[in-house]
Amino acid sequence: MRIQERDKEILEDICKFQCLTSYQIAKLYEMNLKVCQRRLRKLCKNDYLRKLPIPSIKSGRSPYLYYLGEKGASLLNISISKPRLTLQLSHQIKNTEIVIDIKCSFKNTNIQCDILPEHLIRKAQLELIPDCALKISKNNKNALFMLEICMGTEIAKSPSCHEDVDSKICRYTDFFDQNDMQCYENYFGCNFKRFRLLFIANSYQRLAGISRIISEHDSYGFILISTLKELKAKGISGKIWHVPALEQSHISII
């Protein structure tokens, strides 16, 4: 099998995200889904890729997750790492859908968006693990954003819970105070003065509750919040962001 340049790019993106579905790959490369699936089957047949079914409660064939096979890993000079079907991976797959939509929203613009996915941040063994980090570049200026996607499953605030949203916001505030950008600067290859946190809530009700928590801790105004509905409708660069600490609304990050 002759590996094309786009095949190598697909392998690199699968490596970056750990694993991807055919739908996600087709969206990233603006490919027809059936054409994409045929190419993925060929890459699997030659062991550049491997696949495993995603458990689904729906009837019919389960979608597949694609990850690097032996030849793909050898081509990129890394070791094979088969994803484990855990709750963390399920959370990661859902977030990847959103992150890919964000990246694709900058296509055909003068703005570049580079991504550092969650699983690579975990490998760096940082104390604070966002759902994703984004470097957005325009006119030779770079800005770093952390992304938190709240699907309403976490407890917002509880005196008996150490893993609630309130404690997470406190950790982000401490991280902002420390201003240790070294890991992100190394990965993206540029310097950042600061970062901003983009907090995406799954509903307006959740947004209201999280906004109150943010207002208690964020004295800088570095945390911006919006809803998943607004993000899907207007995109990350739309005037969808609210800054609870500064009582500002309809802010754009660009």
Do 150 and 241 belong together in one domain?
Answer: yes
Question: What pLDDT is stored for residue 56 in this prediction?
Answer: 66
Do 102 and 210 belong together in one domain?
Answer: yes
Please state, in angstroms and rounded to a whole number, the distance separating the CA atoms of residues 175 and 179.
6
Neighbours of 126 (CB within 10 A): 13
Do 70 and 127 belong together in one domain?
Answer: no
Do 116 and 199 belong together in one domain?
Answer: yes
Do 247 and 183 belong together in one domain?
Answer: yes
Q: Which of 25, 44, 76 is the last residue of a domain?
A: 76
Question: What pLDDT is stored for residue 137 in this prediction?
Answer: 95
Low pLDDT (below 50) residues in the chain: none
Q: Which of 29, 44, 76 is the last residue of a domain?
A: 76
Per-residue CA distances from 59 to 56, 62, 208, 219 (Å): 8, 8, 37, 50
pLDDT tens column, 11-66: 999 999 999 999 999 999 999 999 999 999 999 999 999 999 887 655 556 689 99
Question: What pLDDT is stored for residue 61 in this prediction?
Answer: 66
Give residue for tokens 């099998």: 1
Judge whether 9 lies within some domain.
yes
Do 105 and 209 belong together in one domain?
Answer: yes
Judge whether 130 lies within some domain.
yes
Q: Name the domain count of the chain.
A: 2
Question: What pLDDT is stored for residue 60 in this prediction?
Answer: 55
Judge whether 81 lies within some domain.
no
Do 72 and 100 belong together in one domain?
Answer: no
Q: Which residues pair with 39 in a beta bridge?
A: none
Q: Which of 76, 107, 135 is the last residue of a domain?
A: 76
User: Within its chain, how far is the Cα of 238 from the centroid?
Assistant: 18
Judge whether 91 lies within some domain.
yes
Question: What pLDDT is stored for residue 160 in this prediction?
Answer: 66
**Residue 43 lies in domain:** 5-76
Give the Cα-Cα-Cα angle 176, 232, 66 (nearest 5 degrees). 85
Judge whether 189 lies within some domain.
yes
pLDDT tens column, 134-152: 999 999 899 999 999 988 7
Judge whether 18 lies within some domain.
yes
Do 237 and 128 belong together in one domain?
Answer: yes
Judge whether 43 lies within some domain.
yes
Do 226 and 190 belong together in one domain?
Answer: yes
Do 108 and 232 belong together in one domain?
Answer: yes
Do 224 and 99 belong together in one domain?
Answer: yes
CATH of the domain at 42: 1.10.10.10
SS3 content of the chain, % helix, strand, coil (to 5): 45, 20, 35
Residue type for position 33: L
Do 142 and 30 belong together in one domain?
Answer: no
